[in-house]
Structure 1
Amino acid sequence: MMLARGLSAFPVTPADAAGRVDAIGLRALVARLVEARVDSIGLLGSTGIYMYLSREERRRAIETAMDETKGRLPIIVGVGALRTDEAVRLAQDAKAIGAAAGLLSVPSYTPLTEDEVFEHVSAVAGESGLALVLYDNPSTTHFAFTPGLVARLAQVPGIVAIKNPAWTAQDAPGLLARQRALVPAGFSIGCSGDWLASETMIAGADAWYSVLGGLFPHICLKIIRAARDGQADEARRLDAELAPLWALFRHYSSLRVIYALIEMLGICRADPPRPLLPLADEARRQVGDMLASLPPGLLDP
């Protein structure tokens, strides 16, 4: 069975100003995903502020999530780091604690070549023994995986999937078909960028790595199921209902909006890590107005 499929829900990682993980808050967020029966949990992704947490706190987040799920859901853990040896250690930690796979981005200060990225990712896969999902996130890493590099890496043992950046509705079918032709059978092709993901799922992507799914999994599951069942019109209708939310995601960033929503819903108290700042009062008002304007029951089970 393909590891990365369906809805991979990405919760935030609540933490205090010193970067200590709020285990109670994280448990509350993970419990929502267990209840919804998402296909996997994407822990310590960009939404999960992996880049702002120490190795110790990353371990604590994984242990907390693993304890809450009790093996009922696979957990894909972000293991990105600037140094290869550090990424290897993070992947080894994740595997030892019980993660199903690692999500590996390639952040860098000095721009990386394709050969450097190939050696980096191959080393993490080979030395950790943890299955890896490639994380193509050029808006933050300033590196884009080319089709040729994806094809090379897909042949490396242990590299099983890719999380692509957002594709437009016009581009998704062609890009998906092109990537599918380059990778082995069973290699999972997934998408991110919540406001564009429905069209990529309709086009036949295997997985949606979702920020919204980390807080409101049920609506995302409905969109995925409609897309899978050939009900493209229904998937598009549900997606269109979320247009006010997508607009705020694009304007303020999904991370900041999700933090505001978590507090508004009373799940836990958490601010994004500095230097990121929580939304200002006017922006929070817009988030509250948006939430009130959505059709009743849209975000509910």
Structure 2
Amino acid sequence: MFSGLSAFPLTPISGDGIDEAAFASLVRRLTTAGVDSICALGSTGSYAYLTIAERARVARLAVEHAGGTPVIVGIGAVRTRDVLALADDAQKAGASGVLLAPVSYQKLTGDEVFGLYEAVTRQLSVPLCVYDNPGTTHFEFTDELHGRIAQLPNVCSIKIPGVPADPAAAKARVDHLRGMIPSHVTIGVSGDACAAIGLNAGCEAWYSVIGGLFPQVAVAITRAAQAGHAEEAMRLSDRLKPLWALFGKYGGSLRVVAAAAELRGLVPSPSLPLPLMAVDGAERQQLAVMLDELGLA
């Protein structure tokens, strides 16, 4: 489950509620494409903007429509009490695993983050992936802290931020972390623009935003890297450079992916929880042309 392609779908919002039909359709689309796992309620799934009840409902919908594809559910929240409740909801929904980021308002210390994972793993009956995402949590893990957390029960993967663009530096980054964690804990790369580099450098998984919307191209990149065809994986990724550049311009992928999903009629428009807004105006028109040129449908 914590290897290969893990696809992160949007949670489309229509009016004041979740568009359950659109979300179910996105999940089935991923299963049909043959992704290795589906992660509901990651950052792309707007988990921080949903109530605990809404998140429980999304977890149930994801499991219900995923067929035999394993479902990972994001359980990050500001209070440990709420994280434990969300973990319980995810397990009751039938999730195969959970994803936990150290969400905060007051910036957390390393000991506080370790305490969070210690408290949660103590009550889990499913595997956990550590979500290292300083861009949203504003907490930066050290490899030493990753090593401590990876020793806890049920910790099975670490979702790291993007690796360096230089292949040798990327391999050194992955190898250093690998030396700090148990052998059963996988390393998964995020940051779609550097995913092929990360997979080629030894990451076992790609935790993918683009995979949650256009899974075929992400599956192709992943399978090429898994087969040892590093140049092919890079070729397929480099073809998407205009999209990666747009991700970078907006400081992340959510607004761009939401606009792409709206343009392709896969989710309602608007689809993000206010005050978030998808890419609009001239750049939305540019994105529409780009999707056609890249054959992303």
Secondary structure of the 2:44 match is coil
Determine what percentage of the aligned residue pairs are the same residue: 45
The answer for the alignment partner of 2:61 in structure 1 is: 64
Q: Structure 2: give runs of 5+ residues left out of the alignment.
A: none
What amino acid does structure 1 have at the position aligned with 2:189? C
Q: What does residue 292 of structure 1 align with?
A: 292
Could you tell me how far apart the structure 2 residues matched to 1:132 and 1:226 are? Answer: 27
Q: How many residues align?
A: 293
Residues 55-204 of structure 1: matches in 2 within 5 Å?
55-70=52-67, 72-170=68-166, 171-204=169-202
- Name the TM-score, length of structure 1 as normaliser: 0.94
Q: 1:128 Cα deviation (Å)?
A: 3.4
Q: What corresponds to 1:218 in structure 2? A: 216
Q: CA deviation at 1:88?
A: 0.6
Q: Which moves more between the two structures, 127-136 or 106-115?
A: 127-136
Alignment match, 1:26: 23
CA distance in 1, matches of 2:13, 2:125: 29
Q: CA RMSD in A?
A: 1.2
Contact 2:259–2:280 at 8 Å: present in 1 too? Answer: no
Deviation of residue 98 (structure 1)?
A: 0.5
Q: Whole-Å Cα distance in 2 between the matches of residues 205 and 38 of structure 1?
A: 16
Q: In the aligned structure 2, how far is the partner of 1:282 from the partner of 1:79?
A: 36
Q: CA deviation at 1:280?
A: 2.0
CA positional deviation for 1:290: 1.0
Q: Which amino acid aligns with 2:114?
A: F
Where structure 1 has 5 or more consecutive residues not aligned to the other structure, the ranges are none
Instruction: Tell me the TM-score normalised to structure 2 length.
Output: 0.96
Alignment partners' CA distance in 1, 2:77 and 2:171: 32
DSSP 3-state at the match of 2:179: helix
| Moved beyond 3 Å, runs of 4+ | none
Report if aligned partners of 1:43, 1:76 keep a CA contact under 8 Å in 2: yes
Tell whether the 8 Å contact from 1:154 to 1:160 is kept in structure 2 after alignment.
Answer: yes
Distance (whole Å) between structure 2 residues aligned to residue 266 and residue 274 of structure 1: 20
Distance 2:57 2:90 in 1: 10
SS in 2 for 1:7: strand
